Structure 1
Amino acid sequence: MYFLHRLEELFLLLLVYRLVLIPKRSGRCALREKKKINEINIVRAFAILAVLIIHATAGARSNVPWGSASSPFYITVNQLSTFAVPLFIMITGLVLFYRYYDNWTWEQALTFYKKRIQYIVLPYLIWSIFYYVYNQAVYNHEVSFDIEALSQQLLWGRAGYHLYFMVIIIQFYAAFPLILTLFRKMRLSARKVIGAGLLVQTVFYILHYWIGPFAHKAALMPNYFLVFCVGAAIGMSYQRFTELAGHLWWTFAASVAVGFTTVLIGLASRSGAHYWPPVYAVLFNLYAILVGFSALWIAQKLDARASAASKLANAFGALAFGIYLIHPAVLTLWRQIYNPDPQQSVYHLYNLASLMIIIIVPWAVAKLIKQSKHHWLLFGKS
């Protein structure tokens, strides 16, 4: 009995140590904050500006007749801006791995998920309901509420044409603890992390193109796994990356070359040329990665100078999430108020005005809402 009593005491001591002492130690580890990456907001500014350009020129790209003098211009501008979503995902991978890779423990997973539900999932639900109602009111001038229809739209981000991005991000956040733990257990170097991303995305494309197409390919996490892993690799050793960033000037020239190659292939396709499907996927991802490197290089240069331009870009990028969520509502209303025919002489000025409006108005509204105590309900928290 004496032995069993001592064994019971030992068990209780071990239990207390496991439940109390270890969480406290890992909690201190979790609270250890790394130096903030100031230039990330400038990169976000590049990405959100590209999103706005895509949406401002989308109508012209479709409506301006092929063969007209301005059609190649709208196609080129729109196509060169398609790095936007991959760049945002690359930043996500960078920030997550920069923050958690060195001090991750499973005890942090619950807090991680709680924050993402609070700051990502909740705003997504609120804005999905808003656009579900808003689009009906603007286009149909009446509103009906169908729970089944809304739930289907929520599943794939269809309540607004821009919300599919939120679905992708939620998938990455849901999988992140598993991805990070797996990479750490396998002790993958930065290069091997990129290799893992390439492998996953290659398998995904093989399944899509040769086995059977995925119905919602654009909203699926594996479709962007390579750019996420490139960002993760940078985040794992960001200090080393900043030391090399001064030699990355060539990535800007390379991104321009790859971007215009993609545009030329697209223009040729409209004229009847046919290319092997993976060519588009390779160019799309290569272009996004090169733009990502270029954007980080430029952002570091701007941030170091602390000029008026860098401060403006930083302020714009800091509100990128709010601008992203608000601008479709502004653009939809503007096009309901005034939407000239492509044949009218004011059409090109109209598109320029549309871009200016969805830059200025959402920025001002987001800045105003950001001053509210409960702004995180709408815009989350970075």
Structure 2
Amino acid sequence: MAQAAKRPYLPELDIVRTFGILAVIMIHATSAIVANYDHHATLYPLYVFLNTVSKFAVPVFIFLSGFVLFYNYYDKPFTAKTIGQFYKKRMSKILIPFLLFSFLYFGLTRFAQFGFVDLQAFIGYFTTEKFLKMLVFGKTYTHLYFVVIIIQFYALSPLMLYAVKRFPALGKHIAWIGLLVQWLFIYKVIGEFHLKSPGSYCFTYMFYFTAGAFIGIHYMKLSSWINLARTNITPQKIAAAITLWVLFLSSSLILFYFYYENRLYTIKVINTNLLEIIDEIRCVTAGILLLQIAYWVYTLWNKKVVRALLHIGATSFGIYLVHPLILYLYRNTSVSGDPILYHAWAAGGFFIALLVPWAIVSFSARFKWHWLLFGPLPAKKNRPALPVQTKPGIDA
């Protein structure tokens, strides 16, 4: 049997990662403001909107993980060697940074809460059952649950790949199967088994992962509908793009209305089961739209800007791990009661939480040990050549 042709490298995916990490930082930069700022202030709705509309971030990263894994591995032979290489490559570059930052953040939170009495007492915090449970569920700090989810998906991916390769019909329906699994877990398993920390289980996000996997499997057929920047645009493609935008914007506005009303009056104006479906529509359409936008940015934007976006995306895992610490330190700075200065301080938190971790992670790339903290980082010699800027054609 002839080996399948290697699929082309897609540097645009790093731009999608950039969008994802910007959304993550926006959520965290506005979360404390949404919780504590005057709910009747003029700009309060803006903070709620920015916080709410950015909450596609984690589902989009999971969507992208499903896309990348199935895009890269679907055509490869399913052998013990392939599986071994998969686990070695994926797990080693995410598990060690996760463990190190879990210890770091747990130690910092214990120090902030209890201070430092002596070394033995401090080490004792790490030998408790509480720490072990928090480590397993990614709860040593608020953002680390995402890494636990990704590790779970990495553990399941070879089994899922085997299933769709052994039974190709599954590849056509993998997104719907994932949606069913997600619904069963959310609406049945969590309540029946009284699971704590449901957000730390990959099944809560299975639809997003399998939706990405579906596009990854069938990408060669779907690419002309996704990469509108380098393909002929037909009325059908325009209609599909408009439909995606309508679904994304309308679902985002509904969620904003729900969370804003809930913040102001602590009432739920929409049934939570319906809200879950609306959020699923919003997150999956966001994943597809961000792919389309990334191709447009990569093809048509200024090359220096594109290189910066590519680099942020390539270092996004490290930025994700570091930025809460920078944001925590920044929030300890005093701010005047003047509204203008307060809003400037709020905006500064977003940019500080992006630029300082980006600088730290980028600087570490020159050292061989960088992968222990931040996973794989881009080298200059491996950067792809940027395309010649062109305009997409339009078919009648």
TM-score (norm 1): 0.86
Q: Count residues in correspondence.
A: 354
Match of 2:149 in 1: 168
1:318 aligns with 2:314: yes
Match of 1:54 in 2: 27
The 1-side partners of 2:194 and 2:54 are apart by 25
The 2-side partners of 1:166 and 1:210 are apart by 24
Match of 1:3 in 2: none
Preserved CA contact (<8 Å) 1:157 1:165 = yes
1:229 aligns with 2:210: yes
Preserved CA contact (<8 Å) 2:15 2:313 = yes
Match of 1:20 in 2: none
C-alpha deviations, 1:218-274, integer Å up to 9, x for none?
111111000100100111122222211223532234312211111112223343244
**Residue aligned with 2:141, SS:** coil
* Letter paired with 1:41: D
Moved more, 263-272 or 321-330: 263-272
C-alpha deviations, 1:18-39, integer Å up to 9, x for none?
xxxxxxx9xx979x85321111
C-alpha deviations, 1:310-339, integer Å up to 9, x for none?
222111111111110111111111122x14
* Letter paired with 2:368: K
**Residue aligned with 1:349, SS:** helix
Q: 1:73 aligns with which of 24, 28, 46?
A: 46
Distance 1:47 1:204, change over 3 A: same
The 2-side partners of 1:342 and 1:222 are apart by 44
C-alpha deviations, 1:125-148, integer Å up to 9, x for none?
111111122233345442712222
1:90 aligns with 2:71: no
Match of 1:134 in 2: 108
1:305 aligns with 2:297: no
The 2-side partners of 1:224 and 1:342 are apart by 41
Alignment of 1:152-301 (within 5 A): 152-188=133-169, 190-208=171-189, 211=192, 213-245=194-226, 246=228, 247=237, 248-250=240-242, 251-270=244-263, 271=265, 272-301=267-296
Match of 1:364 in 2: 359
Alpha-carbon distance, 1:102 to partner: 1.4
Distance 1:96 1:176, change over 3 A: same
Q: Which runs of 5 or more residues in structure 1 are unaligned? A: 1-24
The 1-side partners of 2:249 and 2:55 are apart by 13
* Letter paired with 1:51: V
The 2-side partners of 1:58 and 1:180 are apart by 37
* Letter paired with 2:103: I
* Letter paired with 1:116: R
Give me the identity figure in percent.
29
Distance 1:332 1:252, change over 3 A: same
The 1-side partners of 2:79 and 2:31 are apart by 44
Moved more, 182-191 or 219-228: 182-191
Match of 1:7 in 2: none
Distance 1:279 1:341, change over 3 A: farther
The 2-side partners of 1:123 and 1:115 are apart by 13
Distance 1:292 1:318, change over 3 A: same
Alpha-carbon distance, 1:206 to partner: 2.0
* Letter paired with 2:161: L
The 1-side partners of 2:21 and 2:101 are apart by 18
The 2-side partners of 1:273 and 1:121 are apart by 39
Alpha-carbon distance, 1:209 to partner: 6.9
Distance 1:326 1:210, change over 3 A: closer
Alpha-carbon distance, 1:210 to partner: 5.8
**Residue aligned with 2:143, SS:** coil
* Letter paired with 2:308: L
Preserved CA contact (<8 Å) 2:152 2:202 = yes
* Letter paired with 1:352: A
Task: Report the structure number with the largest CA radius of gyration.
Answer: 1
Alignment of 1:102-113 (within 5 A): 102-107=75-80, 108-113=82-87
Distance 1:371 1:29, change over 3 A: farther
* Letter paired with 2:314: A
Q: Alignment RMSD, CA only? A: 2.3
Q: Which runs of 5 or more residues in structure 2 are unaligned? A: 229-236, 378-396
Alpha-carbon distance, 1:176 to partner: 0.9
The 1-side partners of 2:109 and 2:309 are apart by 31
The 2-side partners of 1:198 and 1:117 are apart by 26
The 2-side partners of 1:334 and 1:187 are apart by 51
TM-score (norm 2): 0.83
**Residue aligned with 2:169, SS:** coil
Preserved CA contact (<8 Å) 2:93 2:375 = yes
